[in-house]
Amino acid sequence: MEEITARSLLPADSAEDAVIGKYAYDEELAKIFCMYIVDGKTQKDALHESGLSQHVYYRWKFRVPEFAQMVKLAMEERSWAHQEQILEIADDATDDAIMGAAGPVVNGKAIRRADLMIQTRKWIMGKMMPKVFGDKSQMELTGADGKDLAPTAINIMAVPAGHFISEETAMKQNQDAAEAGTLREE
């Protein structure tokens, strides 16, 4: 059984399409579409504003690697526009209070709507650019030049009770033992 993918659902190219150029890739139109995405528009709005049909959009996205890459980068860049929108939404207190019979009353509906708008943008940003906007914190430890950390050999020496040696002396003794080949690694 053949695997069904988004690409397999697209109609096959016909000789007529190639002649007419009905679906021919137009780099200028692609750039215009991506410009709308970068400006924070949704895909639906960017399609409408640019005049690109959804059918052609998906045809290009699955058949023109340069376009797919351009769209991916535009959508990542849109996250920065969303960051600005979040600030604007959070700072806009216009509808936060409405006039009631006894005076101003908190407009919970408007506040919940603004919160939903902010949370939706944050979620999209976290999905598009998880390393920048994701909630997960991760710390990676590496050695010099990004190499793996190498375990360090520790030489434990018996020292008579009441006798202490300096770290410098211990390092020198370890170095001498390593050079003599008597350093034990366990």
Architecture of domain 6-97+106-131: Orthogonal Bundle (1.10)
- Confidence grade of residue 144 (pLDDT, cut at 50, 70, 90): confident
Q: Which of 55, 52, 60 is nearest to 32 (CA)?
A: 52
Judged by DSSP in three states, 99 sits in: strand
Q: Show me where the domains of the chain are located.
A: 6-97+106-131
DSSP string across 53-68: -HHHHHHHHHH-HHHH
Task: Return the amino acid letter for 182.
Answer: T
Residue with tokens 């109609």, as numbered in its chain: 11
Locate the DSSP E strands across the chain: 97-100, 103-106
Q: For 7, phi and psi rounded to 5 degrees?
A: -65, -40
pTM, entire model: 0.55
Note the pLDDT of residue 178: 76
In degrees and rounded to multiples of 5, residue 140 shows phi and psi of -115, 130
Confidence of residue 11 (pLDDT cuts 50, 70, 90): low
